[in-house]
């Protein structure tokens, strides 16, 4: 079958002959973005919690020294990975690990690793900001009843901070979907890499990348809608009753919400 001369004809031709390859590339893109975002969030939460551990003059010298060293190392990690392009990081880690440490990473492992640690650096600052946005009185109250810093973070602060930083988590996922294209420099066969192969086969760059652009938009738009729905679920209902059957817990009297069925009967 020869290549059609019109634009839409070439689009249909590419989808017919290379649609499966493009779908596989899109699947690889989504897998790297989702897994990298999840692992990056775990790294970010861990780094953010450590960065907010208070250091006071009453602590022993060894604890203060150790915490300051750990925080310094984590700050260096965050600043380096937030201050350099992911493409440069991919080249440095993939080729540098072999040249300096004789570690031969597989391309797949390198892709997940690079996206994860890059996302972790951004999430660390997001988590730190989310923790600091919570009223300090809640931390003081938790410490007053004997909670450790870790218990306070897990049981009191993080559940509230998580809702505040959900939009940024979704934003990082969408950024990762788009930024996986830079991993093509180390040979990762994702959507951008697959599109380059398709475009080079018949020199149909405009048509091939039109398809790729639409596929990227579908992926990012679908993820943004799903995450927006998840945010609304986390907000809960606009009105609710206290989850208790103890009448002594109500300080201003019992409140009974009208039953919709009773209104219909009337």
pLDDT grade for 72, boundaries at 50, 70 and 90: very high
pLDDT on residue 115: 96
Report the distance separating Cα 23 and Cα 52, nearest Å. 43
The residue-averaged pLDDT of 226-253 equals 63
To the nearest whole percent, how much of the chain has pLDDT over 70?
A: 88
Q: What's the whole-number mean pLDDT along residues 13-23?
A: 92
Tokens of 157: 């602060």
State how far the alpha carbon of 264 is from the alpha carbons of 130, 151, 240, 257, 259, in Å.
Answer: 45, 49, 21, 15, 9
Q: What was the pLDDT predicted at 110? A: 94
Q: What is the pLDDT of residues 208-239, one digit of tens each?
A: 999 999 999 999 999 999 988 887 777 666 55
Question: Domains in the chain and their CATH numbers?
Answer: 12-236 (1.10.3720.10)
Query: Is the per-residue pLDDT at 253 higher than 60?
Result: no
Instruction: Tell me: pLDDT of 150 over 90.
Output: no
Residue that wins the pLDDT comparison between 63 and 78: 78
What integer pLDDT is reported at residue 239 of this predicted model? 54
Least confident of 53-67, 85-99, 172-186: 53-67
Contact assessment for residue 225 and residue 219, using Cβ atoms and an 8 Å cutoff: no
pLDDT at position 238 is 56
* Confidence at residue 5, expressed as pLDDT on a 0 to 100 scale: 83
Residue 264 has pLDDT above 70, yes or no: no
- Evaluated on CA atoms 214, 215, 220, 225, the torsion sign reads positive
Residue 216's pLDDT is 96
CA torsion through residues 147, 148, 154, 158, sign: positive
pTM for the whole thing?
Answer: 0.81
107: its two tokens: 């391309």
């Amino acid at each position: 079958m020869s290549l059609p001369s019109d634009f839409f004809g070439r689009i249909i031709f590419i989808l017919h002959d290379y649609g499966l390859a493009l779908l596989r590339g899109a699947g690889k893109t989504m897998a790297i973005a989702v897994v990298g975002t999840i692992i990056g969030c775990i790294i970010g939460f861990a780094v953010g919690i450590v960065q907010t551990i208070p250091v006071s003059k009453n602590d022993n010298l060894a604890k203060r020294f150790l915490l300051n060293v750990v925080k310094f190392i984590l700050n260096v990690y965050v600043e380096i990975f937030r201050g350099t392009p992911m493409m440069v990081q991919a080249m440095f880690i993939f080729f540098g690990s072999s040249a300096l440490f004789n570690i031969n990473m597989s391309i797949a492992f390198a892709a997940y690793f690079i996206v994860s640690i890059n996302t972790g650096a951004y999430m660390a600052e997001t988590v730190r900001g989310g923790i600091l946005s919570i009223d300090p009185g809640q931390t003081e109250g938790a410490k007053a009843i004997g909670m450790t810093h870790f218990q306070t973070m897990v049981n009191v602060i993080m559940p509230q901070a998580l809702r505040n930083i959900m939009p940024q988590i979704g934003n990082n996922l969408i950024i990762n979907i788009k930024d996986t294209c830079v991993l093509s420099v180390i040979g990762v066969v994702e959507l951008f890499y697959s599109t380059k192969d398709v475009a080079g086969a018949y020199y149909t760059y405009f048509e091939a990348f039109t398809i790729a652009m639409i596929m990227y938009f579908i992926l990012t738009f679908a993820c943004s809608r799903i995450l927006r729905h998840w945010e609304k679920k986390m907000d809960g209902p606009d009105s609710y009753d206290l989850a208790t059957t103890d009448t002594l817990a109500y300080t201003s009297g019992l409140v009974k919400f009208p039953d919709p069925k009773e209104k219909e009967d009337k």
